[in-house]
């Protein structure tokens, strides 16, 4: 299940640009600053394969990374930017929604949730959109190494995670599969790769 080869393939702005080899793919999505680039780099054991974006809101591209010549990690535009126009802030573009709804190679969406802060309404909204559209989803809790801080509501990552799960249960009855991670300690990295391997073999 380990990543022995990872290569950036392309950045797409239209559906027609996507790779057409039909290899299975896993999409990484989440709020801006959730730690998506860091997680991607941790999964592939590179420092800068996914350039940690310092200009949130600029990228509405969908980026394909081919792993071990046999599957893709797909980096999707984030949501919830502070500095972008309202419509981008609140919503995925039509391009991104089309990807979720129509991309046949998509195996599962990995929705990243920051475990170092209390659950955010916008994350629940996106989780519920994915759920309502019956898009297979795995919850990836990020930054689980962070210690609790007063200004973050004073809760430990484990408490934020269980609060989020409790909230999501009110939408779905069941909680999607979930993995706790840290790009600092690499917690959860092998678990994610194993989970992806299992999903590919279904």
Indicate which single residue of 182, 189, 192, 196 sits in contact with ligand GDP (rule: CB under 6 A): 182
Site string for ligand GDP, 39-78 (x = CB under 6 A): -------------xx------------------------x
Question: Per rule CB under 6 A, is residue 32 in the interface with ligand GDP?
Answer: yes
CA angle, residues 119, 60, 76, in degrees to nearest 5: 55
* Options 14-22, 102-110, 139-147, 166-174: segment touching ligand GDP (CB under 6 A): 139-147
Question: Per rule CB under 6 A, is residue 142 in the interface with ligand GDP?
Answer: yes
Indicate which single residue of 25, 35, 79, 141 sits in contact with ligand GDP (rule: CB under 6 A): 35
Angle between helices 157-172 and 121-132 (to 10 degrees): 40
Q: Could you tell me the two tokens for 199?
A: 């999903």
Query: Residue 63, CB half-sphere, CA atoms under 13 Å: how many?
Result: 18
Question: Per rule CB under 6 A, is residue 13 in the interface with ligand GDP?
Answer: no
Indicate which single residue of 157, 183, 192, 195 sits in contact with ligand GDP (rule: CB under 6 A): 183
Question: Per rule CB under 6 A, is residue 91 in the interface with ligand GDP?
Answer: no
CB of 20 to ligand GDP, least distance (A): 27
Nearest to 26, CA basis, from 161, 173, 188, 192:
192
Question: Per rule CB under 6 A, is residue 184 in the interface with ligand GDP?
Answer: yes
The enclosing H or E element of 200 equals: helix 189-200
Write down the H helix ranges in 56-188.
86-90, 94-102, 121-132, 157-172
The smaller minimum CB distance to ligand GDP, of residues 35 and 196, is found at 35
Strands (E), the chain: 6-12, 25-30, 62-67, 71-75, 106-114, 137-142, 178-180
Q: Which residues bind ligand GDP (CB under 6 A)?
A: 30, 32-38, 52-53, 78, 142-143, 145-146, 182-184
């Amino acid at each position: 299940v380990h990543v022995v080869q990872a290569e950036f393939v392309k950045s797409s702005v239209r559906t027609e640009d996507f790779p057409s080899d039909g290899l299975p793919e896993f999409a990484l999505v989440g709020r801006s600053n959730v730690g998506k680039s860091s997680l991607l780099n941790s999964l592939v054991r590179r420092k800068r394969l996914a350039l940690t974006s310092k200009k949130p809101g600029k990228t509405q591209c969908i980026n394909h990374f081919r792993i071990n010549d046999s599957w893709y990690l797909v980096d999707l535009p984030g949501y919830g930017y502070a500095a972008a126009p309202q419509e981008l802030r609140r919503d995925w573009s039509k391009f991104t929604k089309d990807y979720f709804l129509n991309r046949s190679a998509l195996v599962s969406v990995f929705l990243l949730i920051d475990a170092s802060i209390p659950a955010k309404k916008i994350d629940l909204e996106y989780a519920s959109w994915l759920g309502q559209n019956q898009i297979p989803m795995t919850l990836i809790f990020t930054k689980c190494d962070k210690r609790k801080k007063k200004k973050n509501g004073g809760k430990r990552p484990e408490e934020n995670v269980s609060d989020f799960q409790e909230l999501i249960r009110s939408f779905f009855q069941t909680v999607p599969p979930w993995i706790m991670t840290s790009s600092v300690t690499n917690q959860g990295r092998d678990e994610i790769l194993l989970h992806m391997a299992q999903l590919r073999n279904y």
